[in-house]
Amino acid sequence: MDLPRLLNWLVVAAYFVGTSLTLSGVIARRERLTSAGNWCAVAGFALHSLVLILLLSGGATAALSQSNFYFRLFAWFLILIYFLVWWRLRLSFLALTAAPLALILFIASFAFTGTVLLPKKLYGLFFSLHIGSLFLSLALLAMAFGAGLAFLYMEKKIKGKERLKALDRDLPSLSAFDRANAIAVALGFPLYTLGLVTGFIWAPSAWNQTFTWDPKEIVALAIWFPFAFLFHQRLAFGWRGRKPAVLAIWVFVLCIVSMVVVNFLVPSHHSFIQPPQPD
């Protein structure tokens, strides 16, 4: 087995063990298991970073031309954002969102080995600004998604005056989950907007027009509006609690549907199945 393949399976193993230990630690209320799960995630992240470095060492153009690279990059951003959220808010519970999603994305990358033919004019800054900002935004949305689900779960328990189980009592407060949601939205929306703007700036050099009515462009704009509403309501009117939690969940779900449906099932400039055809 060559080094790249070995590293790939080590990443999968680390994320799987990390997810299992974290889940076991939460259920059994054992901090040591949860801590061990986080350390496995750290090890997986380090190996994951090495995988990306090896891919990029063969040339950025070659890496960006492989559809599986984008799966691995998005998974890497998920773990990175989780670590930052954990460091800032100490919400280790969100590992149950980040680690499983990263594991699924990394395993999915094995199945998609097609080539994505991007115009050469879109390399370089296109990658760092367009792809980077969008993936960072989606990773932040994933944290808002996890925090939103946890918020709704705990709110239902409290409002229904249900007896809290031992596991429930170990969860952070509603305000902690709401704060995680607020931070993710406050940072995620500007990054999402930056990703769209940079895409439209470089579109004329690739497709000879700024807006091509490509399905991905239409869906991306459709997602931007509820995301913008959530951002505005959070900052301008101090939205808190259930409403922003629900809307953040829906925005993230729409993003995932966009990635799966448009990138794999619909002919598009952004398709991982059919390469784009610049004019």
The pLDDT, as a whole number, for residue 132 is 84
- Please give the residue that has the higher pLDDT: either 217 or 45: 45
Residue 232: CA atoms inside 13 Å, Cβ hemisphere, count?
Answer: 6
Residue 161: CA atoms inside 13 Å, Cβ hemisphere, count?
Answer: 0
Beta bridge partners of 66: 115
Query: pLDDT for 111-133, tens place per residue?
Result: 776 665 555 555 555 557 777 88
**Token pair for 108:** 């999915």
The pLDDT, as a whole number, for residue 276 is 42
The pLDDT, as a whole number, for residue 88 is 75
What average pLDDT does the structure give for the chain? 80
Query: What's the mean pLDDT in 174-185?
Result: 88
The pLDDT, as a whole number, for residue 231 is 94
Burial state string for 84-105 with b = 16 or more CB within 10 A and e = fewer than 16: ebbeebebbbbbbbbbbbbbeb
- Please give the residue that has the higher pLDDT: either 71 or 164: 71
Query: pLDDT for 195-221, tens place per residue?
Result: 888 877 776 665 666 666 677 778 888
- DSSP-derived 3-state class of residue 66: strand
Distances (CA, A) of 195 to 136, 160, 192, 257: 10, 41, 5, 18
In this predicted structure, the answer to whether residue 9 has a pLDDT above a threshold of 70 is yes
CB 148 within 8 A of CB 156: no
In this predicted structure, the answer to whether residue 279 has a pLDDT above a threshold of 60 is no
The pLDDT, as a whole number, for residue 46 is 93
- The alpha carbon torsion through 61, 66, 72, 76 (nearest 10 deg) reads 20
Q: Percentage of the chain with pLDDT > 90?
A: 21
- CA-wise closest residue to 81 among 102, 60, 55: 102
d(CA 94, CA 92): 5
Q: Where do the domains of the chain lie?
A: 120-279
**Token pair for 119:** 């115009």
Residue type, 132: G
**Token pair for 273:** 């199945």
Query: pLDDT for 250-275, tens place per residue?
Result: 999 998 888 777 766 666 665 555 44
d(CA 274, CA 196): 22
Query: What's the mean pLDDT in 147-164?
Result: 80
pLDDT-based confidence at 34, cuts 50/70/90? confident
